A and B are shown apart, each in its own frame.
Chain A
């Protein structure tokens, strides 16, 4: 875990780092997956065609790789970062490990933690990166995916 360095003097709640908290569970419906797949312009029958999907390797309609984002969850852990302004934050990256697909009918539970906070200083000022790790588990207790999402907050250049 990163700490110190250019983070010194930047105010945030360090106590939440590394602490897993449940952020909800949701039963995934075929309708949700199909709506998401259609919105993405998908043509893969594993996401759209129940008959073809049942005959496929997973035995049911499965969700496209980015579907996890649309699962309704509670508020993610907040480090209450006091740096830059609220509108200076944006998503900088995602790192996802998939273990098995999300199937229509699954109940997906998620836990989340702030995995890391670090800062970089360059020509345009200081950037603070917050890495949130969300672990998605199905009703069988098996992890289906782990997502490390990185957001960055930009400070004011001096």
Chain B
């Protein structure tokens, strides 16, 4: 994993994409690990709850979006803020593309903060999740 440094990152830099296509088995496994039931476990259960189809949980989807950032920020980077809005339902088998774009950078109380917009879209180009992220990165400058 490459380590990005604060000085090397600029607004407009693009991160990703991270592409996920969660299978029914993967959605089931996540639901089991997270102790989710109902609409997150089968078409039948989703139908019983009034949904058209089996649903990938919001936590699984937002976890994928976080992953595009945490994969990029390296071991010395740390996520400090993550804010998401869920716009559309996600189903098993959907092709999910996660991206982020750097919007700003600043130093606050000795921390080197990178701000980003992040989003997930599906195979139809629909935005499923939109969010903002702040990450603290190490500096190349000596302490």
A: which residues have CB within 8 A of B? Answer: 35-36, 38-44, 46, 56-57, 64-66, 69-70, 72, 87, 90-98, 101
Contact = CB atoms under 8 A, between A and B. Distances in A.
9 contacts: A40-B30, A40-B60, A41-B26, A64-B67, A70-B34, A95-B84, A97-B81, A98-B80, A98-B81
B30 A98 contact: no
A39 B33 contact: yes
A41 B56 CA distance: 14
Contacts of A70: 33-35, 59
Contacts of B67: 40-42, 64
B63 A65 contact: yes
A65 B35 contact: no
B49 interface: yes
B35 to A, nearest CB: 7
A35 B67 CA distance: 16
A93 B84 contact: yes
B34 A69 contact: yes
Nearest to B87: A92
Contacts, number: 79
Interface residues of B, number: 32
A97 B80 contact: yes
B127 interface: no
Q: Which of B35, B71, B78 has the most CB of A within 10 A?
A: B78
A155 to B, nearest CB: 15
B35 A87 contact: no
B24 to A, nearest CB: 13
A46 B75 contact: yes
Given A39-B29, A91-B58, 20 more contacts: A40-B30, A40-B60, A41-B67, A42-B67, A43-B71, A46-B75, A64-B70, A65-B63, A65-B82, A66-B62, A66-B66, A69-B34, A70-B33, A87-B49, A90-B86, A91-B86, A93-B84, A94-B82, A96-B81, A101-B78
